[in-house]
Chain A
Amino acid sequence: MTVGDDAANRIAERHKASIPSLRAKDYKSDVKPVWCPGCGHFGVLAALTKTLAYLELPPERVAVVSGIGCSSRLPAYLAVHGFHGVHGRVLPLATGLKAARPELTVIAAGGDGDGFSIGGNHFLHACRRNQDLTYIVMDNEVYGMTKGQASPTTQPDWCRSKLTPHGTGMRRFQPAAIALAAGASFIARGYAGDPNGLTRLLAAAIEHPGFAFVHVLSPCRTFRPEQQAWKQLVHGCELGPAHDAAEAAELIQRDDGLGLGVLFEQEIPVYTAGVTADAADTLTTNERLAAIEAEHCR
């Protein structure tokens, strides 16, 4: 080894010291996503990996579980523990895992069809149970994996599927309003085209003690190309977050469904399976994130 090599190694060591120990790429697996190029879910994947890196959660202490659908492919693309489960059953999986291993960070992920149609009943009861879970729903208002059928969140007059040539004629499922009515203690809405804004919501959701529902508008490049217009239509939900359910109900109902941010947040008892909550659970989400930031900047 030459003197020059020594110097280069010393410099390399110093680089390590000045650069965060965990980066977003450390949470990505080697599996290549099968999503269409331009799919919104890439934005969610990027936001989630950045969030996990920022929170410095060790990959082996994080579990991401999913159901079935395009978005439910997410766990395979992450280098954390994953379970790609059964259609609509992501929340039962997450519930069982969190009950058995409360010290893990458990994140449930899926799409609008998986979560609001076949999994709709699980959604209601997960909201009211208030386990310490984060549930990310990537909503593109269509069943993409089965090539473009109307989902619960599709507009009643969307008629671009042969199965609904005149639209479904049914009112849309209202994820945020239903989560609120079912008793969720944290409700946020994000947009996949703004991954950095989404990291803020995901960090808050993961740090929230209780069931945190993050509704992500995630455009389908292939079957809903008109959703590219969301980029111009989404807007910050300036009035949130509400801490009172009645205020939240008004906020959510008055919003056009494209308002981004934390819509509702409430500190209520967390359901645990006979395990005492740790002391950190007495902090608010804001206090927890502030503590993390202070630790990083020390």
Chain B
Amino acid sequence: MAACGHPVAGAGQLAGQLQTAAIGLADQARGQARRVGGPAPAAVAPVHHAAPAGDGPFRRYAVTADGISPMSVPGETGLAYTADGLEHDPAGAPSSRAADHKAQLDKRRRKLLTHDYGPDWAQITGAADAKLCLLTFGACRGAVVEAAGRLSAAGLAVRTLALRLLAPLQQEALLAAIGRARVLVVEQNHGAQLYHYLHAEQALPAGAHSLAKPGPLPLRPGEIAAAAAALMDSDGDSQ
């Protein structure tokens, strides 16, 4: 429960800064639960370009360099607008013009790509010069960190990296964090989706391996540690 607080607060924060919506998903059991926790991290005020006063309609979706457009909230005189689900022009009127579509799509991409996501893009443990990097995301992190502990106790220096931001992928930061370590991508699904995604984005070094397993049984630290040890052994054999 407590672990949910940080990502929920972070998602709300991010949604405010990027003028979008946040969707929170939780296990069904947690969705029905209640608990009073500690205060959420202090929020940073969302970026708001001043809404220009003037004649003509309020240009809620004005094209800007950083992709963040002026935004009003209900109650501000003269700044009412309709947030339309259809593609629109800078004033929010639905538009079928190709130029409007491109301008708004480019603006949104700029907004997402240029935002400074800070250090929260991943949770990283272990030394930078570790021989092995266990790369994962989401609910597998607990088992991965536990497996890393067992491997370290057995004498293998391991780094764990759990991605929190899948897109826009922080490719340079990811490659820097991996360094020269061997990579095992650990995930709980049948198709090794993360492994394939990272390869498609050219964000994995050559020779990265995959440990992917579908549910319903969760991945256990023991099998992760065994797979990692086998990888390092085969690596040793091949050298």
A residues in contact (CB < 8 Å) with B? 29-31, 58-63, 68, 75-76, 78-86, 101, 103-104
Contacts and interface: CB of A to CB of B under 8 A. Distances in A.
Interface of B: 57, 74-86, 92-94
Contacts of A58: 77
Given A60-B80, A62-B80, A82-B81, 17 more contacts: A29-B93, A30-B93, A59-B80, A60-B76, A60-B79, A63-B74, A68-B85, A76-B84, A76-B92, A76-B93, A78-B82, A81-B74, A82-B83, A82-B84, A84-B82, A84-B84, A85-B85
- Chain B residues touching A, majority SS: loop
Contacts, number: 54
Contacts of B92: 76
Nearest to A73: B94
A115 B207 CA distance: 53
Contacts of B85: 68, 84-86
A61 B82 contact: no
Given A75-B82, A82-B83, A84-B86, A61 B75 contact: yes
A72 to B, nearest CB: 9
A31 B76 CA distance: 21
A29 B81 CA distance: 9
A81 B84 CA distance: 11
Contact of B81 (A68, A81, A86): A81
Contacts of B86: 84
Given A30-B57, A31-B93, A31-B94, A82 B77 contact: no
A39 to B, nearest CB: 17
B74 A101 contact: yes
A62 B81 CA distance: 11
Given A30-B57, A76-B82, A82-B82, A60 B75 contact: yes
Nearest to A83: B83
A236 B80 CA distance: 36
Nearest to A85: B85
Minimum-distance CB pairs A-B, first 7: A82-B82, A84-B85, A84-B84, A75-B82, A81-B74, A31-B93, A81-B80
A85 B85 CA distance: 6
Contacts of A81: 74, 80-82
Nearest to B76: A60
